[in-house]
Chain A
Amino acid sequence: MAAGRQSGIGKFALRQAGKLALLLASACAVTFALISQSPIDPTQAYIGADLLRVGAEQREAIAAYWGLDDPPLQRFWAWMASLLQGDFGTSMIHRAPVSEVIVERFLSSFALMIAAWLLSGILGFAAGVAAAMRRETWLDRAIKWYCYALSSTPTFWAGLLLLIVFTVWLPIFPVGLGTPAGVPAGDVTWLDRARHMILPALTLSITGISNIALHTRAKLVDVLASDYVLFARAKGEEGFLLFRRHGLRNILLPAVTLQFASFSELFGGAVLVEQIFSYPGLGKATVEASTRGDVPLLLGIVLFSALFVFAGNLLAELIYRWVDPRIREGQSE
């Protein structure tokens, strides 16, 4: 039995690693094909603002140095070879290795995303439970209305409204940036950072609530219509006790899985929110890279974000296998 489970886990890990390798290779190939078909001239992009000071001969020298005249397939293999060695190239905006920029920016985004993710997960779950337990009452209707309205609300507009209310009308929170302006980096306390993070995190979580709330509500409504709940009700259980004994276990796992599977929207939301609040994270770097034409950084971010989404889906699957005895037993056979 134990040996069987061991080999099951080994097989699972192997399969996931294969999936990841295939995904990253595909993503590399497709993005490379897209970029090389684009009307953007790489020499031009490299020269950037020094346009007038670079002559035709220098252009040729640059193209030869970077191998820009080689056939596409050869360039692709060269690029893949350096990627495999961990070399993502140099960001043109930041004048630093892409991997360094991504790691540094991601750490600051990560705090924001985790805060928003936890907040939206907990609030959304609670709202969904409340709506289902008080089905067809004003509370249910209010929560449903809120969820539908929020799913039509663009994240960036919600952010702007919060900005107006909490920094202009009621100046409680700082306007933007990750740290107070004019304070040396060493003197910034974690309290400052937290204060600068509240509004962006709040914006990011408000729009994330509706999905998990509606899903939880639907699941719990199904559970409450089941025979075992009918039986429990007949025994006199009701309210919170009924929910804790029969509802919670059945709806918690799908909700957690859904929340882990939402990493893609979380990343997209972070891009918008960081742009509104000038928060120095990976999302803002994505916008800068694409509007200012920093190809190496953009490619690095595309690959990194694919890895991020994959990690979310993998975690969801792992939790399922770890918690749900049916799947656990099924795999070890």
Chain B
Amino acid sequence: MNLRTRTLIYAAVALVLLLLPAALSPMLGGDRLATHLAERNEPPSWTHPFGTDWLGRDMFARSMKGLALSLGVGLTAALASGLIAGALGLMAAALGKAADRFITWLIDLFLSVPHLVLLLLIAFVTGGGAKGVIIAVGLTHWPSLARLIRAELLQLKSSEFVLVSRHMGRSNWWIATRHLLPHLWPQFIVGTLLLFPHAILHEGAITFLGMGLSPHQPAIGIILSESMRYLSTGMWWLAFFPGLCLVVLVRSFDVLAGGVHALVDPSRSQE
């Protein structure tokens, strides 16, 4: 089995793992999330693979719902950040010195405050809630990708084949679409894919800290922060399984992004 097939298989498995919670969560509604006081605090078993909580709710159903929610927030936020990064990176490289200076200043400013503090500040300013979480995560993940795209573009613009093309009388549009885009596109796709894991982890972190989503929505962060009150009574499954699911989700994204990178980047696809 060569590397290409193996990468494809890994990426496919990762994709299935990613889509699983979204596919499962509509089937697990209603009854399993309702309170069953007769079966509360049960350790993991065949009927409740992740156990039940202090109200008798099935932890498997709650975890899957939470993962689907995290996935949704992560996707929205990472896409928003990817678009911002792409737009600002392009503007910095295309609109001249003043715009470049302003955008570099903005990137440095965003990176100068610890990311988590920035998330808390923006979530607070937008009034919290699901909206606050999405805005905060979406508005803070772009700087590193924007910097990468800017640097890549500046380097491409001064590269020999672009200069030759310009001297031969090609228009800016022709150069942008035939020379710059093919190089930029893979960088942008992989960069945006690599934002997802960060976005999901940060979404989990600020919901865990109590910013945003209401306690009725089973976000992974909320499930984990609620579980803290019951850990001392030995109910380890409340924290163990939901957290493990989050790790698998994030790792799948990493594997998927790595696979896509290996497939679209010509310098790596021959390894």
B209 x A291 contact (CB < 8 A): yes
The smallest C-beta distance from B15 to any residue of chain A, in angstroms, reads 16
- Residues 215-249 of B, flagged 1 when their CB comes within 8 A of A and 0 if not, give 00000010010011001101010011001001100
Query: Does A125 count as interface, using CB distance less than 8 angstroms?
Result: no
Query: Does B114 count as interface, using CB distance less than 8 angstroms?
Result: yes
**Chain A binder among B23-31, B82-90, B104-112:** B104-112
Query: Does A272 count as interface, using CB distance less than 8 angstroms?
Result: yes
Chain A residues, CB < 8 A from B209: 271-272, 275, 287, 290-291
Chain A residues, CB < 8 A from B49: none
Given contacts A163-B231, A272-B205, contact A287 B210 (CB under 8 A): yes
A157 x B112 contact (CB < 8 A): no
Chain A residues, CB < 8 A from B109: 23, 26-27, 30
**Chain B binder among A127-135, A246-254, A304-312:** A304-312
Given contacts A38-B126, A40-B127, contact A160 B227 (CB under 8 A): yes
A161 x B240 contact (CB < 8 A): yes
Given contacts A23-B112, A149-B251, contact A160 B117 (CB under 8 A): no
Query: Does A156 count as interface, using CB distance less than 8 angstroms?
Result: yes
Query: Does B211 count as interface, using CB distance less than 8 angstroms?
Result: yes
Query: Does A154 count as interface, using CB distance less than 8 angstroms?
Result: yes
The smallest C-beta distance from B254 to any residue of chain A, in angstroms, reads 6
Query: How far, in whole Å, are A298 and B113 apart by their CA atoms in the complex?
Result: 13
Query: Does B116 count as interface, using CB distance less than 8 angstroms?
Result: yes
Query: How far, in whole Å, are A244 and B228 apart by their CA atoms in the complex?
Result: 46
CB interface residues, A 266-302, toward B, < 8 Å: 267-268, 271-272, 275-276, 286-287, 290-291, 293, 298, 301-302
One of A26, A164, A263, A267 near B105 (C-beta < 8 A)? A26
Query: How far, in whole Å, are A161 and B231 apart by their CA atoms in the complex?
Result: 10
Chain A residues, CB < 8 A from B236: 164, 168
Query: Does B125 count as interface, using CB distance less than 8 angstroms?
Result: yes
Chain B residues, CB < 8 A from A175: 232
The smallest C-beta distance from A84 to any residue of chain B, in angstroms, reads 20
Max count, chain B CB within 10 A of own CB: residue among A27, A152, A271:
A152
- Residues 139-169 of A, flagged 1 when their CB comes within 8 A of B and 0 if not, give 0000000001101111111001101100110
Query: Does A31 count as interface, using CB distance less than 8 angstroms?
Result: yes
Secondary structure at chain A's binding surface: helix, strand, loop or mixed?
helix
Query: How far, in whole Å, are A271 and B227 apart by their CA atoms in the complex?
Result: 19
Query: How far, in whole Å, are A88 and B209 apart by their CA atoms in the complex?
Result: 25
CB-based nearest A residue for B210: A291
Query: Does A37 count as interface, using CB distance less than 8 angstroms?
Result: yes
CB-based nearest A residue for B121: A302
Query: How far, in whole Å, are A298 and B230 apart by their CA atoms in the complex?
Result: 30
Query: How far, in whole Å, are A137 and B114 apart by their CA atoms in the complex?
Result: 37
Chain B residues, CB < 8 A from A30: 109
A305 x B117 contact (CB < 8 A): yes
B116 x A271 contact (CB < 8 A): yes
Range of interface residues on chain A? Answer: 35 or more
B112 x A306 contact (CB < 8 A): yes
Chain B interfacial residues counted at CB < 8 A: 43
Query: Does A100 count as interface, using CB distance less than 8 angstroms?
Result: no
Query: Does A264 count as interface, using CB distance less than 8 angstroms?
Result: yes
A160 x B239 contact (CB < 8 A): yes
A148 x B125 contact (CB < 8 A): no
Query: How far, in whole Å, are A201 and B232 apart by their CA atoms in the complex?
Result: 20
Chain A residues, CB < 8 A from B221: 156
The smallest C-beta distance from A33 to any residue of chain B, in angstroms, reads 10
Chain A residues, CB < 8 A from B208: 154, 156, 272, 275
CB-based nearest B residue for A24: B112
CB-based nearest A residue for B250: A152
Chain B residues, CB < 8 A from A168: 231-232, 234, 236
One of B123, B232, B243 near A161 (C-beta < 8 A)? B243
Given contacts A154-B243, A168-B234, contact A34 B125 (CB under 8 A): yes
Query: Does A39 count as interface, using CB distance less than 8 angstroms?
Result: yes
Chain B residues, CB < 8 A from A31: 121
Query: How far, in whole Å, are A173 and B126 apart by their CA atoms in the complex?
Result: 39
Max count, chain A CB within 10 A of own CB: residue among B109, B116, B117:
B117
Chain B residues, CB < 8 A from A69: none
Query: Does B201 count as interface, using CB distance less than 8 angstroms?
Result: yes
B247 x A164 contact (CB < 8 A): no
Query: Does A70 count as interface, using CB distance less than 8 angstroms?
Result: no
Query: Does A35 count as interface, using CB distance less than 8 angstroms?
Result: yes
B127 x A38 contact (CB < 8 A): yes
One of B108, B117, B122, B228 near A268 (C-beta < 8 A)? B117
The smallest C-beta distance from B203 to any residue of chain A, in angstroms, reads 10
Known pairs A154-B247, A306-B113; list 10 more (Cβ under 8 Å): A23-B109, A38-B127, A149-B251, A160-B227, A161-B240, A164-B240, A168-B236, A264-B115, A271-B209, A287-B209
15 contacts between A and B (CB under 8 A): A34-B121, A37-B125, A38-B124, A152-B247, A152-B254, A154-B204, A154-B208, A156-B204, A263-B114, A267-B117, A275-B209, A290-B120, A298-B121, A302-B118, A310-B112
